[in-house]
A and B are shown apart, each in its own frame.
Chain A
Amino acid sequence: MKIRCALIGPGNVGLDLLHKLLRSDTLEPLWVAGIQPDSAGLVHAQGLGLETTHTGVDGLLPHIDEDNIRIAFDATSARIHPENSRKLTARGVKVIDMTPAAIGPLCVPAVNLEEYIGRDEMNVNMVTCGGQATIPMVYAINRVQNVRYSEIIATVSSKSVGPGTRKNVDEFIQTTAAALEKIGGAHKGKTMIIINPSEPPLIMRDTIHCITEKEPQCDAIIESVRAMEKSVQEYVPGYRIKEGPIFDGNRISIFIEVRGHGDYLPEYAGNLDIMTAAAARTAEMFAQHMLQEPGV
């Protein structure tokens, strides 16, 4: 038995997610809601055998009970998300927010997903691609010893950055920096994003610098960081530590590469892949919990 789910916003990110959901053992994507009849996204979803509506979340609502939809993914925009979320959660649907709206708690599966499973959170936010790629590493260092300052640089290919992110680079920076502190555990977080237009497009890469309060315990940090790399790889197979950790005084640097799975989007778009992989992972964990509930 699988938990049924719906997607709102069949753009690039949404469709990549859909392909991941179709492979899931615990999730069954059933509905896709867009806002344009015959949009490329809706047509693609129909081709995959899904039910579609072009009247947005409102077109989806009548089917929630009859089709027993329990989880919805919102890949629309920060502007529309709060209203979508309100309508869905009122019907008892758990919402995975892939927009920068972040009205619910921030979730990085390898770090804090388990906290939310039993707590019955109705809305969780997937932070940013840069956050998904770097926060696990900051957390891995901080669980060994206190991180006074963490700084990350996310480099993404120009082709993989949509108009939404381009209009809102400040929000990307602020949300990621705050999450480095809140979830990663750093006392202070700083974020930068670089968009590189070279051809062929470069694979997403991230640099993580942490400055510890005391002299780094190198062996324990290496072990913790390597274990975290494996945890992330469970849901993002293309995630790897390319170089590092290297130590320079109290500074620790790690260089990450995120190669996408190539589901709907090309491999270089690791930044989008890690978002959809994290969202799918989060929903699967919720679904497993739901399946264990009595009476399901």
Chain B
Amino acid sequence: MNLKGKKIRLHDVSLRDGMHSIHHQFTLQNMQTLSLALDQAKITLIEVGHGDGLAGSSVNYGFSLHSDQEYLDAVIPDLKSTRVSVMMVPGISTIEDLKVIENAGIHTVRVATHCTEADVSEQHIQYAAKQGFDTVGFLMMSHMASPQKILEQARLMQDYGANCLYIADSAGHMLPEDVAARISVLRDAFPESIEIGFHGHNNLGMSVANSLAAVEAGATRIDGSVAGFGAGAGNTPLEVFAAVCEMHGVETGVDLAALMDAAETVAVPIMGEYLPRIDRDALTLGYAGVYSSFLLHAKRAEQKHGISARRILLELGHRGTVNGQEDMIEDLALEMLRKQAS
């Protein structure tokens, strides 16, 4: 693998995806300290907010400790060079939700859909692009569609106005060759002005290798989380990936030592017992191809109803559930309980 001289940008999602690991309970102080540490490490972009994006705060996904606006206002004013992104998921967030925070100083809007349903993002991508934001089309659960299907869906998002297109391995299910196949089909189809990105989860321990494969195939934006904060077994641990990049001559622009320190001395103490790891349930997510943020909901259902989280997650995989279907978990646990009783 010759990656020497490739230039990429790292996007830390610990303050958004990491919210899944801690029931969306970061304090404003947590967000401030960690974002400042990431700014010092010269991370290009960080994502901030509820784990499920704008307006994600709900019974279904869990209420966040603060509103999107409060988090953004706590973080943005003190940053020197790092820019901030928000995520929106059509079906959950509306343009009205974006309008509430669009003047908070955000730089990037990422619009995420299931990998076969990109056409629900038309109004959101058009709006974000028209407002002049760096606008990203983000295809979740990309393992569920073929590279050709992914390309067709990415084209829709580009037509709507996205200047960057992401493959998201939301279930942490893919292997490097799966990632490379999807990234390269996009890289070949779009002009250089359209950036290609990859968002990994570490449920099978493949996130660093997958991200490296993405870079080799032409991705120039890579998501990760300091200390691996994120849904399921977490996202690509960013300090690890940055170190691997440096070893192979990939230019990320980050201060590796500062990033390692941010992970060790700032991030880990914040997460404490919630620091994600590949436990048997997180592993099941990757194995069964299930959306990573189902993890804590399935564990809770296990505690409440006595049905093992692993069984629930395997069944959710069989049923082809997609991002956002957290409400299936309790429904399914109750159904299993009833079947067990009869």
Contacts and interface: CB of A to CB of B under 8 A. Distances in A.
Nearest to B305: A246
Contact of A197 (B124, B322, B338): B322
A211 B59 CA distance: 9
Nearest to A248: B304
Interface in A157-196: 158, 163, 166-170, 173-174, 190, 192-196
B96 A153 contact: no
A-B pairs, top 9 by smallest CB distance, nearest first, are A198-B320, A207-B327, A170-B94, A209-B59, A243-B334, A255-B331, A193-B91, A197-B116, A153-B327
B194 interface: no
Interface residues of A, number: 34
Contacts of A192: 58, 60, 91-92, 324
B178 interface: no
B123 A168 contact: yes
A244 interface: yes
B131 to A, nearest CB: 15
A143 interface: no
A166 B123 CA distance: 9
Given A155-B328, A211-B59, 18 more contacts: A158-B117, A166-B117, A169-B91, A170-B90, A170-B94, A170-B123, A192-B60, A194-B322, A194-B325, A195-B120, A196-B321, A197-B117, A198-B319, A199-B320, A253-B59, A255-B327, A255-B330, A255-B331
B122 interface: yes
B320 A196 contact: yes
Contacts of A97: none
B335 interface: yes
B70 interface: no
A16 interface: no
Contact of A170 (B59, B96, B321): B96
B334 A255 contact: yes
Contacts of A168: 123
A289 interface: no
B95 interface: yes
A214 interface: no
A242 interface: yes
A192 B122 CA distance: 17
A195 B91 contact: yes
A173 B94 contact: yes
B159 interface: no
B11 interface: no
Contacts of B90: 169-170
A190 B93 CA distance: 11
Between A149, A153, A244, A251, the greatest number of chain B beta carbons within 10 A of the residue's beta carbon is seen for: A153
A137 B163 CA distance: 43
Nearest to B92: A192
A74 interface: no
Nearest to B323: A194
A229 interface: no
A196 B331 CA distance: 16
B114 interface: yes
Contacts of B114: 195-197
Interface in B47-103: 58-60, 90-92, 94-96
A48 B126 CA distance: 42
Nearest to A209: B59
A163 B325 contact: no
Interface in B106-127: 114, 116-117, 119-120, 122-124
Contacts of A158: 116-117
Contact of B330 (A195, A196, A211, A253): A253
Contacts of B325: 155, 194, 196
A151 interface: yes
A255 B319 CA distance: 17
A192 B61 CA distance: 11
Contact of B91 (A194, A202, A244): A194
A128 to B, nearest CB: 13
Contacts of A169: 90-91, 94, 120, 123
B327 to A, nearest CB: 4
Query: Which of A192, A195, A209 counts the most chain B CB atoms within 10 A?
Result: A192
